[in-house]
Amino acid sequence: MILTKSIQFYLININKKTKIKKKRDFFLFYINPIMYMTLNYNYYELAVQRWCTDDYQIHGLWPQINATDYPSYCEDVNYTPPSGSLLNAMNKQWNECGGDLWIHEWEKHGSCIKSQMGINEESFFNITLKIFTDYFNLTESCNQQQECIIGCFDLDYNLIPCEE
């Protein structure tokens, strides 16, 4: 996994009456680490779940660097609750099970797709719904598990073999 750390240093002069150059000044350094993933993912995994329904629902579309590494929380993003036909589709195929799954998926995984591919929240949700609908038959390979990766997809959202 490629990781970039950006550290912000805050210099606070405790003795505001003296100049910074004087040796008797005391300074407090406050370090605020901000972690960002370098966006270099290669494909997506589509995860499904049966946490609160009998049928498989979307868990999320996850960018992957390789079989074990993935970027997450790549940038600060705002969440806008879906509405209209998008909301209806998400309620049918992406059950939050009473939680904040949509927010979590957008912030953790969608933020990385936004950073690398330039898509917005609505596009992220619509793309995920389309892949799920187009490849729903792959849920048969889940063998009634509660959670399952049903497929891997290239950056153009075409089905590809998953890495082992």
What average pLDDT does the segment 25-39 reach? 42
Domain containing residue 12: 3-37
32 and 84 belong to one structural domain: no
22 and 91 belong to one structural domain: no
Q: Using CA atoms, how far apart are residues 136 and 113, in angstroms rounded to an integer?
A: 22
Q: How confident is the model at residue 39 (pLDDT cuts 50, 70, 90)?
A: low
Q: Using CA atoms, how far apart are residues 125 and 90, in angstroms rounded to an integer?
A: 8
Least confident of 7-11, 26-30, 68-72, 156-160: 7-11
51 and 30 belong to one structural domain: no
Amino acid 164: pLDDT: 82
CATH of the domain at 87: 3.90.730.10
61 and 126 belong to one structural domain: yes
67 and 147 belong to one structural domain: yes
Q: Note whether 147 and 158 are within 8 A (CB).
A: no
106 and 141 belong to one structural domain: yes
Q: Note whether 154 and 160 are within 8 A (CB).
A: yes
28 and 78 belong to one structural domain: no
51 and 121 belong to one structural domain: yes
72 and 98 belong to one structural domain: yes
> pLDDT at residue 29 above 60?
no
The string of pLDDT tens digits covering residues 118-148 is 999 999 999 999 999 999 999 999 999 999 9
The string of pLDDT tens digits covering residues 66-79 is 999 999 999 999 99
What average pLDDT does the segment 37-53 reach? 86
30 and 51 belong to one structural domain: no
Domain count, the chain: 2
122 and 63 belong to one structural domain: yes
Q: How confident is the model at residue 9 (pLDDT cuts 50, 70, 90)?
A: very low
Q: What is the DSSP string of 75-137?
A: S--------HHHHHHHHHHS--TTS-HHHHHIIIIIHHHHHHH---HHHHHHHHHHHHHHTGG
Look at phi and psi of residue 83 and say left if phi exceeds 0, alpha if psi is from -120 to 50, else beta: beta
> pLDDT at residue 21 above 90?
no
